[in-house]
């Protein structure tokens, strides 16, 4: 008798748990998920106090455009100054400001593989159409082992693209 | 074939092919050996080719693939030396003492090669940048040719190769 009661309670509890789980899943399925922005405009990389060489600035910008495109998160990726972006209602804007860099040495990297890393620190800000800041972060581009300083620009772009991919 | 007939056939051949050659003569090779670092959507990065000035555009010919930039769309052209001058001024020297190495010159590559950066806008006003690398000393020549064909630049070509010390003015 005692055993039967225990079994009954256990079955009831298990049933209740299953029912709860199912109803929660149904609720989640019914709740409409807010769609993310479909378009992004990437502004030219600026340097507030840092005077960045034009080739480095361009490499950062071009790599950023390519990497954001590659994520596939946005249907449209607009470049700085693109007039078509003004017509997009759910456009977000990505602004990047170089905060500093530490020049390494490609030769030292080749010889030691540990010394001579180049770092570039960039502040990125993603803002909505209404000006509301959606993402505000410092991102560091590095080239540690082999390769020219150009690789630091690629590393930065990849990190920003990943950040955007992860952000809602 | 007799000699006059041979001369005549050669003359006819020249006469028929001359328009083709004259068409090619308008294409000016700006840099015979260049490499695209990045920035042309129709050509893969690191493609090797030549830079040609033709029909009011700078064309990068990499064999099967090629891309071009209309000269009228060019906003600015920078050589590696321009970048050094732009960064290595007074501001750069002051910023050198800033934390995180502000003012030191950060180059994309080691100085064995020359870098040419072209900033331009497409028909929608979108900003693009194309970076080419080429043998040392070539970038300034390409820039001069682009300026000669009407490209806009913020650092004039006359400044190329000038020493950092200003020349003393002659008194009248």
Q: Report chain A's mean pLDDT, rounded to a whole number.
A: 83
Which residue has tokens 């190769």?
B161
B102 in reach of chain A (CB within 8 A): yes
Binary contact (B131, A59; C-beta < 8 A):
yes
> Does residue B50 have a pLDDT over 80?
yes
Query: Closest chain A residue to B37 measured between Cα atoms?
Result: A59
pLDDT digit string (tens) for A73-109? 999 999 999 999 999 999 999 999 998 887 666 565 5
A120 in reach of chain B (CB within 8 A): yes
Task: Say what the pLDDT of residue B113 is.
Answer: 84
Element (H, E) at B25: helix B3-25
- Within 8 A of A66 by CB-CB distance, chain B residues are 38
**Interface subset of A 28-67, CB within 8 angstroms of B:** 44, 49-59, 61-63, 66
| Cα B52 versus chain centre, distance | 9
State the distance between the two ends of chain B, measured CA to CA, in whole angstroms: 74
Binary contact (B37, A118; C-beta < 8 A):
no
B23 against A62, higher pLDDT = A62
pLDDT digit string (tens) for B114-136? 899 999 999 999 999 999 999 98
- Within 8 A of B80 by CB-CB distance, chain A residues are 55
> Does residue B44 have a pLDDT over 90?
yes
Task: Say what the pLDDT of residue A75 is.
Answer: 94
Residue B28's pLDDT band, with cuts at 50, 70 and 90, is confident
B15 against B53, higher pLDDT = B53
> Does residue A115 have a pLDDT over 90?
no
Binary contact (B38, A59; C-beta < 8 A):
yes
Buried b (16+ CB within 10 A) or exposed e, A63-77: bbbbbbeebebbeeb
Question: Nearest CA to CA, how far is B107 from chain A (Å)?
Answer: 7
Q: Which two tokens stand for residue A45?
A: 């990389």
Q: Report chain B's mean pLDDT, rounded to a whole number.
A: 77
Task: Say what the pLDDT of residue B81 is.
Answer: 78
Element (H, E) at A12: helix A2-30
pLDDT digit string (tens) for B159-170? 555 544 444 444
> Does residue A133 have a pLDDT over 50?
yes
Query: Closest chain A residue to B45 measured between Cα atoms?
Result: A63
Share of chain B above pLDDT 90, in %: 48
Query: Closest chain A residue to B101 measured between Cα atoms?
Result: A102
| Distance (Å, whole) CA A85 – CA A87 | 5
> Does residue B36 have a pLDDT over 50?
yes
Q: Judge residue A124's burial from the number of C-beta atoms within 10 Å of its C-beta, 0-12 exposed, 13-18 middle, 19 or more buried.
A: buried
Q: CB count, 10 Å around CB of A99?
A: 19
**Closest Cβ–Cβ partner in B84, B103, B108 for A150:** B108
Contact B35, B47 (CB under 8 A): yes
> Does residue B94 have a pLDDT over 60?
no
This complex has an ipTM of 0.75
Q: What is the pTM of this model?
A: 0.74
User: Hey, which residues does A121 pair with through a beta bridge?
Assistant: A100, A140
Q: Which two tokens stand for residue A82?
A: 């693109």
């Amino acid at each position: 008798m005692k055993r039967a009661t225990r079994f009954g309670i256990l079955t009831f509890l298990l049933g209740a748990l299953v029912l709860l789980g199912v109803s929660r899943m149904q609720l989640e399925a019914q709740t409409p998920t807010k769609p993310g922005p479909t378009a992004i405009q990437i502004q030219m990389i600026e340097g507030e106090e840092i005077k960045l060489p034009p080739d480095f600035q361009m490499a950062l910008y071009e790599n950023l455009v390519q990497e954001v495109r590659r994520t596939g998160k946005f249907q449209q990726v607009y470049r700085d100054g693109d007039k078509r972006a003004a017509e997009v209602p759910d456009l977000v804007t990505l602004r990047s400001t170089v905060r500093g860099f530490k020049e390494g040495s490609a030769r030292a990297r080749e010889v030691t593989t540990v010394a001579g890393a180049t770092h570039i620190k960039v502040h990125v800000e993603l803002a909505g159409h209404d000006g509301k800041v959606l993402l505000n972060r410092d991102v560091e581009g590095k080239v540690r082992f082999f390769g020219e300083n150009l690789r630091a620009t690629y590393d930065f772009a990849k990190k920003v693209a990943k950040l955007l991919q992860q952000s809602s | 074939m007799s000699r006059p007939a041979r001369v005549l056939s050669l003359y006819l051949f020249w006469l028929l092919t001359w328009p083709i050659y004259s068409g090619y003569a308008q294409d000016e090779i700006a840099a015979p050996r260049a490499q695209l670092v990045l920035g042309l959507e129709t050509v893969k990065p690191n493609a090797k080719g030549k830079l040609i000035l033709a029909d009011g555009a700078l064309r990068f010919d990499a064999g099967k693939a090629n891309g071009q930039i209309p000269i009228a769309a060019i906003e600015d052209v920078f050589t590696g030396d321009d970048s050094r001058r732009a960064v290595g001024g007074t501001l750069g020297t002051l910023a050198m003492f800033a934390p995180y190495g502000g003012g030191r010159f950060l180059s994309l590559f080691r100085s064995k090669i020359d870098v040419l950066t072209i900033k331009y806008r497409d028909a929608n006003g979108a900003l693009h940048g194309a970076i080419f690398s080429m043998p040392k000393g070539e970038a300034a020549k390409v820039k001069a040719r682009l300026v000669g064909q009407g490209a806009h630049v913020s650092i004039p070509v006359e400044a190329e190769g000038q020493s950092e010390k200003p020349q003393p003015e002659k008194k009248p």
